[in-house]
Amino acid sequence: MRDKKISFNNLEKFLYQPSVFMILTGAALAVLLIVPWLGLNSYLMNIVVKVAIYITLALGLNILVGYTGLVSLGQAGFVAVGAYATTILTKVYGWNFFTSLIVCVVLAAAVGIVIGLPSLRLTGTYLSIITLGFGEIIRTVIIVWEPLTNGPMGIRGIPRPALGGITFTMANSGMYYLSLLLMLLVMLFCRTLVRSKTGRALRAVKGDETAAVMMGINVTYYKVLAFVLAAVISALAGSLYSTQLGYIDQNTFTFDMSTIILSIVILGGMGTLRGMVIGSIILILLPELSRSLTDYRFVIYGLILILMMRFRPQGILGWKSRLPYPIRKTVIERISGPQNQTADDGETNHA
């Protein structure tokens, strides 16, 4: 067991060497950019876009679950807020998709604040129930608020995003690039977040709320902020998702969707970014492999979650990173001063 751990960490050490990391990131980006030229049919391209959108959604929920230690079973509610806001603004009021995103962000942030408030008093099971209820309330609102949402009939013919005469469609791969862009931006955001005052405060709240308070962290503010960030990211992904689908109704945003997002986070490894990618790929591709799998997908999700909790609670890719905390060169030089450099610490195993 120990050997396995060390090899994982050695692999990590290798992968994250600046040169290796740059090459791999560059290669990954190059592959992602040429995906539309790989000759995938439209069915497969739709799945690829869906994976990108779910990675984004998982990254959003990860801020809550992985960093802050709060649970949400109502992410579909936030997705719906974004999807409906954009759809109504573009379809009914003729707004540009990208302009509507501003409204979508503001609205989602407001809803995030409202849903975040109960989290100040509740955790665990109680918070699960509240957020689950929130998801269902949003669905009910969609059904009842017919003048705006067209009720159970749903909204059809959602326009594709367009900018300066270019329409982003599935056919011209515009949708793919947009969803890729959003995913990468959110990923970059999360990466910076973890290594900032805000990210550390969120993780401190997860680690020990009392100690966090004693460090001067305003726990209230950061819990609500976590909900706001998760809400805004989900809503942005929701906006994009609605234009990909072209049709939405209350059944687009069911509890199933919230479950999938949570399953991705847990399966992949909460608190990690890489986990969201692998989790989404597995859980979105898996049901597409065969019809029968689609029918039983919730049984499979349930099983996966139970097995993960039992055998690998940290998630598939949720190992504890052994990389040194990144410190800029100028700081290192200032610390070591005129003396010689300190040697590499920790147990290095040479193969």
Residue ranges that bind another protein, judged by CB under 8 A: 189, 192-193, 195-201, 203-204, 206-208, 210-218, 225, 271, 320, 322-325, 327-328, 330-331, 334-335, 342, 345-346
CB of 170 to another protein, least distance (A): 30
Q: Give the burial string for 22-47 (b: 16+ CB within 10 Å, else e).
A: eeeeeeeeeebeebbeeeeeeeebbe
Class of residue 162 by CB neighbours under 10 A (exposed 0-12, middle 13-18, buried 19+): middle
Nearer to another protein, 27 or 110 (CB): 110
CB of 313 to another protein, least distance (A): 13
Nearer to another protein, 50 or 203 (CB): 203
Token pair belonging to 207: 């680690």
Nearer to another protein, 8 or 189 (CB): 189
CB of 22 to another protein, least distance (A): 18
Nearer to another protein, 184 or 193 (CB): 193
CB of 195 to another protein, least distance (A): 8
CB of 344 to another protein, least distance (A): 11
Task: Identify residue 279 by its one-letter amino acid code.
Answer: G
Nearer to another protein, 5 or 156 (CB): 5
CB of 84 to another protein, least distance (A): 27
Token pair belonging to 311: 């055998």
CA max distance for the chain: 73
- Which residues, other chains included, contact 212 with Cβ-Cβ below 8 Å and sequence gap of 6+? 201, 204, 205, 219
Q: Are 262 and 304 in contact (CB under 8 A)?
A: no
Nearer to another protein, 213 or 300 (CB): 213
Q: Is 302 helix (H, G, I), strand (E, B) or coil?
A: helix
CA–CA distance, 161 with 174 (Å, rounded to integer): 9
What 8-state DSSP symbol labels residue 167? E
CB of 335 to another protein, least distance (A): 5
Nearer to another protein, 299 or 323 (CB): 323
Strands (E), 130-209: 162-163, 166-167
Class of residue 10 by CB neighbours under 10 A (exposed 0-12, middle 13-18, buried 19+): middle
162, β-bridge pairs: 167
